[in-house]
Amino acid sequence: MIIPTIGDMLRAHERIKPHIHKTPVLTSSYFNELTGAELFFKCENFQKAGVFKARGASNAVFSLGNDMLEKGVATHSSGNHALSLSYAAGRRGIPCTVVMPRTAPQAKKDAVKGYGGRIIECEPSTSSREAVFAEVVAETGAEFVHPYNDHRVIAGQGTCSNELLKQVEGLDAVIAPIGGGGMVSGTCLTLSNLAPEVKIYAAEPEQADDAMRSFKAGHIIADDAPETIADGLKVPLKDLTWHFVSNHVSDILTVSEQEIIDAMKLIWKRMKIVMEPSSAVPLAAIIKNKDTFAGKRVGIIITGGNVDLDLLPWLKN
């Protein structure tokens, strides 16, 4: 296990600056009144590839040695990491192979291809995915970039809070959604070193509350197959992200599916931004725990904006 340092994060930031957006911070008098807190929305939905993961993926891709450039990178993902790694590899002009279940939505396959990624299909099972992925790595010699349990990825995600600290003075807390813990770990890395007075909160769906239960138990608990509309948050913590979460997070708050949908729709309506269900989880947690945040200056990471506009959750009924 390689634990990234604050120096790694700062070097990552210099490395990836030409390839990512410095995303804007939006405020909303409506949400400030609603919550009693002063909220600063860090809009990673406006990030390259539509998600914060472009940061970590870019850092992994642009820190590869010259000997790896022909072999490229590979991963297995049907989501935002596949997009982000394809984006970053495209920027560097190296191959990117993504193993994806053949049942994944065509729109996601098209998006990966749009960024120049090569898709190898597997059956929708863990055994098939692992077998196909092993073949891909054996054949290509590509570097595996894990979506979150990777020191380069975490150092890259930490650049988000590094920007936020320069954009907003006097923060009392930062809150981000937690799935595998990549964004939260990067946030911990940056804040624990550069602004240790800022409290770090994570927010999670009740229906995928393995991070909260791990946090209470003191060791990783991995659910098998949680179901939530916040589909980026179904994956479990791993050793590297557990290191950061267990050492630096103040609390993990959970919210119901309906609370996520309500917060998501309210953000779209009042702030006029498109963001994923996962990104609504922190605001839902603040609305549910007003006393914890009232009177505080709170950064909220809006993690991504890749949502299927034909399947909005408040229209499902």
* Residue 91 or 152 having the CB closest to its own copies: 91
User: Is position 241 an interface residue for its own copies (rule: CB under 8 A)?
Assistant: no
* Residue 206 or 257 having the CB closest to its own copies: 257
- Two structure tokens written together for 265: 């729709």
Burial class (CB in 10 A: 0-12, 13-18, 19+), 126: exposed
* Residue 46 or 201 having the CB closest to its own copies: 46
Min dist CB 171 to its own copies, Å, is 21
Q: What are phi and psi of 94, to 5 degrees?
A: -120, 160
Using the rule CB under 8 A, which residue among 275, 283, 284, 285 binds its own copies?
Answer: 275
Given the rule CB under 8 A, which of 7-15, 87-95, 117-125, 273-281 is the region that contacts its own copies?
Answer: 273-281
Alpha carbon of residue 203 to chain centroid: 12
The C-alpha atoms of residue 263 and residue 283 are separated, in whole angstroms, by 7
Which region holds residue 181: left if phi is over 0, alpha if psi is between -120 and 50, else beta?
Answer: left
Using the rule CB under 8 A, which residue among 26, 100, 211, 245 binds its own copies?
Answer: 26
The C-alpha atoms of residue 205 and residue 259 are separated, in whole angstroms, by 9
State the alpha helices, DSSP H only, in 75-230: 80-92, 106-114, 126-140, 151-167, 182-194, 210-217
Using the rule CB under 8 A, which residue among 50, 181, 186, 299 binds its own copies?
Answer: 50
Min dist CB 231 to its own copies, Å, is 17
Min dist CB 268 to its own copies, Å, is 5
User: Is position 269 an interface residue for its own copies (rule: CB under 8 A)?
Assistant: yes
User: Is position 268 an interface residue for its own copies (rule: CB under 8 A)?
Assistant: yes
* Other Cβ atoms within 10 Å of 65 Cβ, number: 7
User: Is position 274 an interface residue for its own copies (rule: CB under 8 A)?
Assistant: yes
User: Is position 45 an interface residue for its own copies (rule: CB under 8 A)?
Assistant: yes
In DSSP terms, 90 is beta-bridged to none
Given the rule CB under 8 A, which of 90-98, 201-209, 288-296, 307-315 is the region that contacts its own copies?
Answer: 307-315
Identify whether the C-beta of residue 39 lies closer than 8 Å to the C-beta of residue 286. Answer: yes
- Contact positions vs its own copies (CB under 8 A): 24, 26, 45-46, 50, 265, 268-269, 271-275, 305, 309-310, 312, 314-315
